Amino acid sequence: MTKTRAPSRLTRATAVSPTPGRSRLAEARPKPIRPAATTAPVASQPPSIPTNQLPPTLASRLSAQNLRVVSRSAYVAQDTALWKQKLQSYRTQILIILALIIGLPIIYLMFVFPLLVDITGRRNAAAFQPSVQVINPQTPQLNAPASYTTKNTLTLTGYALPGTFVQVLLDDEPQAAVEVGVSGEFTATLELQEGANEITAYSFDEQGTQSSQSRAYTIVLDTQAPEINLLSPEPGSEFVGRSQQTISIQGETEPGAQILVGTTAGTADENGVFSVNYLLSEGDNLLTISATDHAGNSDKLVISVTYSP
């Protein structure tokens, strides 16, 4: 069998070239090959083998391996998303904590603290509201008058705050007010009534502010002399013997009156009864019996008795 030889490249070129006038040699010269455009090398990929062309055992293994790869990738993706979510939650919590740490003191200093200061100040102002303190004048000091007097007019003296006034009360009845001098002394004149008179006083200033009342004093006006009622002995009585040389002079008068028989003294009790022992001399004895009350009023009685041994 005879093989047909393929024509050479030159022969093919000569046979194909239709251009006349060119030499065959020139026509048979190959054309220069232009370099192709530079392109990035393409990574070689392993050939993809269809699964249906693999053996069943290998195909099942590859499917299980692909499932594990897919499951692991899904788990990694899910775990990554979960961690991102946790990080975001942690970031939010940290931001909230930082905001609370920084913001709460600022809020307290800007709003709460001034409010508390204002409330406390108002409460303290209400609790310690200054009030106008009224200072009362000094209570007058009275010079103690005599407890008994025979004079209707009493001159009362004392001390009080200079520049104030003293109101004297007689049996709770106001008398004429007197002004206190620069030395603090004052003098008031009172008209007493027969019997007990209670005297007190208080000070007051120009605004009418009064002091407390002073100590009260009771003054008894007594213009009556005490009467003497002699009970024994009777005037003109005679006493005989040594046993009767000392006699008892008894009588009644004003309670508390001082009794004087000659030079022998005695005192009437709260009922006005008195008894004074007196030593008689031989012969006639002229007895002068006197009674003097607290005010100085006095009365006397003279009797005569006889004594013989």
pLDDT at 113: 78
Among the three residues 192, 221, 250, which one is the final residue of a domain in this structure?
221
pLDDT for residue 132:
61
- Which pLDDT value is given to residue 19? 45
pLDDT of residue 10: 40
Domain assignment of residue 265, yes or no: yes
Find the Cα–Cα–Cα–Cα dihedral 204, 170, 148, 269, rounded to 10°: -120
Q: Are residues 120 and 171 in the same domain?
A: no
49 part of a folded domain = no
Q: How far apart are CA 289 and CA 277, in angstroms?
A: 12
Nearest Cα residue to 200 out of 246, 254, 156, 253: 156
Could you tell me the residue range of the domain that residue 155 belongs to?
141-221
- Which domain-ending residue is among 221, 247, 269? 221
- Please report whether residue 116 resides in a domain: yes
Same structural domain, 199 and 237: no
Q: Are residues 73 and 106 in the same domain?
A: yes
Q: Are residues 216 and 234 in the same domain?
A: no
List beta partners, residue 294: none
Phi, then psi, of 13 in degrees rounded to 5: -70, -40
Single-letter amino acid code for the residue at 54? L
The pTM for the full model equals 0.52
Res 54: pLDDT: 53
Assess whether 68 and 97 both reside in one domain.
Answer: yes
The CATH number for 289's domain is: 2.60.40.10
3-state SS of the chain is CCCCCCCCHHHHHHHHCCCCCCCHHHHHCCCCCCCCCCCCCCCCCCCCCCHHHCCHHHHHHHHHHHHHHHHHHHHHHHHHHHHHHHHHHHHHHHHHHHHHHHHHHHHHHHHHHHHHHHHHHHHHHHHCCCCCCCCCCCCCEECCCCCEECCCEEEEEEECCCCCEEEEEECCEECCCEECCCCCEEEEEEECCCEEEEEEEEEECCCCCECCCCCCEEEEECCCCCCCEEEECCCCCEEECHHHCEEEEEEECCCCCEEEECCEEEECCCCCEEEEEEECCCEEEEEEEEEECCCCCEEEEEEEEEEEC
Contact criterion met (CB below 8 Å) for 160 and 184: yes
Indicate whether 217 and 249 sit together in one domain: no
Last residue of a domain, one of 199, 221, 243: 221
Full pLDDT tens readout for the chain, 309 residues: 444 454 444 444 344 444 444 444 445 455 555 555 445 454 455 555 555 555 666 556 666 666 666 666 777 787 788 888 888 888 888 888 888 888 778 887 787 778 888 887 777 766 666 666 668 889 999 999 999 999 999 999 999 999 999 999 999 999 989 999 999 999 999 999 999 999 999 999 998 899 999 999 999 999 999 999 999 999 999 999 999 999 999 999 999 999 999 889 999 999 999 999 999 999 999 999 999 999 999 999 999 999 998
Number of domains the chain is built from: 3
Q: Is 167 part of a structural domain of the chain?
A: yes
Contacts of 209 (CB under 8 A, 6+ apart): 134, 135, 136, 137
